[in-house]
Amino acid sequence: MKRSFVYQLFGFILLAGLVFNLAAIRPVQAQTTSQADLTLTDLGMMIPQTLTGPISEVNFSFNLPADWMPEGTATLDINIMAFFSSLVATESNQTLSGLVGGDLSLFLNDTMVGIDTLQTSGEQTLHYEFDAALFAPVTRDGVNVLRIRWDGSISCLMNLLSSVTLSPTSRLSFGYGADQKSLTLNDFPAPFVIKNSVQPVLLKIALPANPSAGELRAAMVLAAGIGQISNGETLAEVISLVDYRPSDTASQNMILVANTDTLKTLSLPSLGITSDLQANAGEGLVYFFKPAGGYGLLVSGDESGIVKAAQAVSADQVIAGGDANTMLVSGINPVAATTGPEDMTLDDLGVGELVFTKPNSLSQSFDFFVPAGNQVRADASFDLVISHSQQLDYLRSGLQMLVNGYPAVSLRLTDNTSNQAMFKLIMPANLVHAGRNTVEFVADLNTRDLCTAPTSNMAWMRVSSSSLLHLPLETAVGGSLVSKTFGDFPNAFLTGSGLDNVLIEVAPAKFGNIQAAVKLAGWLGAGLP
């Protein structure tokens, strides 16, 4: 009896201890994870995308916010409309099933995460699951590429036409935490400029209400640089320093423009700056910090140094030294000449070889500049040297050249043009104007076998870097024959890869004038190559 009672007492104590231990560790195990629900519209697909047989694909390039760390299992539900049809029309309109139409494959960052064999036409939803760790984190050059590929070559061999239409409502879901890797100055332009972000964060430039000449110039340089780096996707808003109050409830990134004298008047710890920052006379200072609600970049120095720091940032030449968050700028390389000689090869223009392949490299372009007050003479020409695969179907392939968006010439291909063939093209002088000009090549590459995928080893074309652009100039008489509208802004102001010849005059006394001028500088920068 006593032994039984002892056993019962011992069991009760053991059970109670186990319960209390479980209760103690439960809060440690419980972790909250946020859920992201995105559609293909969020990734840039505004309208349904049709993938036609035998083989075609579509890519989505995107970035996640800097403070997202995807975790767990991600799912993608793709809503599609599949279509298989004989080349000969039939009288029946019933859904076709019971055959192999082709394969729909899903790739994330060049890793195949799923494949489905379609055997039924009509509307359907395909479900894919994959490890969320495959998403690339935000870095200097990081980007996520989601690729959806349709391979209908098997139905093509059976004399069937095939296509798959992707719906923008297709949904991508995954969990994420706020444990993103620590960013440093070496990740710039991230997180201030994140291209194709699914959740953009506001970028603001804070400077004194009555800025010095150096601070104002630095802000203008930064705005133009941000516009150029982001290709106009990110334009910074200017606010006064007195209106900058970091808060966890307001998500924003900040570029703080303040010279050495202004810094002495600020409470740096309240802004999230804890380091003792010093720069020598004439040096610029760039410092990366983490305020509440986002990320911050301090651009500082004396009146000459702060401009140097801004120029380094706007040129995307930010490289930290021993301290991964701090950079000192002692000098800036002089601006190179923006206009070249009368005769320039693609190598001279910094373009190099242009290679065209399917599916995503069929259109490529380059820029050249005509100085203000000049125009191109009528004898301007372009000695274009090309090579291409002899496996192309020449009746369904070709190369078109456009000048500033206008068709200029279309080339016909033969076996004789396949190996370093030169075409002497007339450069239409009436399509070339002062400022920035764009030459675009659009290739159409198709093989003779309709059911063979036009891969890069079979269907390709190359424009040689030795192709010569002959641009004799003369003093402009009158304007261009091509009408100008506000939609042409800012190309007419551009004479190279910089804005060193553009002057913006700002009326003093009103901060709104500064805000408007900085916004204008951002749009000018967005037009730069």
3-state secondary structure 465-498: CCCEEECCEEECCCCCCCCCCHHHCCHHHCCCCC
Residue of 203, 473, 498 whose CA lies nearest to 343: 473
- Using the Cα atoms of residue 271, residue 276, residue 281 and residue 285 in order, give the sign of their dihedral: negative
Give the CA angle between residues 465, 394, 448 to the nearest 5°. Answer: 115
Residue of 129, 324, 303 whose CA lies nearest to 215: 303
CATH dotted code for 343-488: 2.60.120.260
The backbone torsions φ and ψ at residue 514, rounded to the nearest 5 degrees and listed phi first, read -65, -45
> Cα(387)–Cα(415) distance, rounded to whole angstroms?
10
- Looking at residue 238, its pLDDT comes to 92
For CATH 2.60.120.260, the residue range(s) in the chain are: 34-177, 343-488
> Cα(212)–Cα(239) distance, rounded to whole angstroms?
15
Q: Please identify which residue in the block is written with the tokens 């000009």.
A: 437
Q: Please identify which residue in the block is written with the tokens 């006379």.
A: 281
The backbone torsions φ and ψ at residue 322, rounded to the nearest 5 degrees and listed phi first, read -65, -40
408 conformational bin, left if phi > 0, alpha if psi -120 to 50, beta if neither: alpha
- Looking at residue 18, its pLDDT comes to 41
Q: Which two tokens stand for residue 85?
A: 């049809």
> Cα(79)–Cα(104) distance, rounded to whole angstroms?
12
pTM: 0.76
3-state secondary structure 149-203: EEECHHHHHCCEEEEEEECCCCEEEEEEECCCCCCCHHHCCCCCCCCCECCCCEE
Element (H, E) at 520: helix 511-526
> Cα(11)–Cα(13) distance, rounded to whole angstroms?
5
CATH dotted code for 185-335+509-526: 3.30.379
| Residue 140 contacts residue 22 (beta carbons within 8 Å) | no
For residue 398, list its beta bridge partners: 444
For CATH 3.30.379, the residue range(s) in the chain are: 185-335+509-526
- Looking at residue 480, its pLDDT comes to 52
Residue of 508, 525, 511, 509 whose CA lies nearest to 220: 525
Contacts of 403 by beta carbon, 8 Å cutoff, 6+ apart: 427, 428, 431, 432, 437, 438, 439
pLDDT tens-place values along the chain, 529 residues long:
444 544 454 454 444 454 444 444 344 333 457 899 999 999 999 999 999 888 888 999 999 988 889 999 999 999 999 988 764 444 445 454 556 788 999 999 999 999 999 988 899 999 999 999 999 988 888 899 999 999 988 888 888 888 999 999 999 999 998 765 688 898 999 899 998 899 889 999 999 989 999 999 999 999 999 998 888 888 889 999 988 888 888 889 999 999 999 998 888 888 888 777 888 889 999 999 989 888 999 999 999 999 999 999 998 888 887 788 899 998 887 665 555 678 999 999 889 999 999 877 889 999 888 877 788 999 999 999 999 999 999 999 999 999 999 999 999 999 999 999 999 999 998 899 887 889 999 999 988 887 877 777 889 999 999 999 999 988 876 655 555 666 666 666 666 556 777 778 888 778 889 889 889 888 888 877 6
Fold of 34-177: Jelly Rolls (2.60.120)
How far apart, in Å, do the first and last CA atoms of the chain sit?
93
